[in-house]
């Protein structure tokens, strides 16, 4: 049984919006997963910001350096960008995997109570 989070009215299982207050009804398991992953999403964004800062920093110092050092600076900056960006994207993959698992488990649970 679902309950409206705002006015605590009992709702139908298939209900997507509260008939009393109009509050959209989200599956409680999905809502819990969303809350849990909010901090990981923020960290992922911070990692991407750092990735860009690393590249910009390396370009800044590459301008001031000469010869092979310029190549090292830019190369290191691109390497840092790719590495941090990959880490940030991998967090998304982990989140997607866990969300999929939750959806599958929820679907299985609903299926078993039907019959």
Report in angstroms how near the CB of residue 41 gets to Zn ion at its nearest.
28
Report in angstroms how near the CB of residue 23 gets to Zn ion at its nearest.
5
Note the maximum CA span of the chain.
74
- DSSP at 24: B
CB atoms under 10 Å from CB of 42, counted, come to 10
| Position 26 contacts Zn ion (CB under 5 A) | no
Site map (CB under 5 A) of Zn ion, residues 76-115, x = contact: ----------------------------------------
Summary count for the chain: helices (H), strands (E)? 2, 2
Binding residues for Zn ion, rule: CB under 5 A, are: 4, 6-7, 18, 20-21, 23
């Amino acid at each position: 049984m679902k309950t409206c989070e705002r006015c605590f009215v009992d709702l139908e299982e298939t209900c997507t919006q509260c008939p009393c207050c109009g509050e959209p009804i989200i599956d409680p398991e999905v809502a819990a997963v969303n809350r849990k992953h909010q901090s990981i999403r923020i960290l992922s964004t911070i990692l991407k910001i750092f990735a860009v800062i690393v590249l910009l920093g390396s370009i800044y110092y590459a301008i001031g350096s000469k010869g092979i050092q310029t190549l090292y600076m830019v190369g290191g900056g691109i390497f840092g960008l790719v590495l941090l960006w990959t880490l940030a994207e991998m967090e998304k993959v982990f989140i997607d995997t866990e969300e999929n698992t939750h959806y599958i488990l929820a679907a299985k649970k609903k299926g078993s109570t039907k019959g």
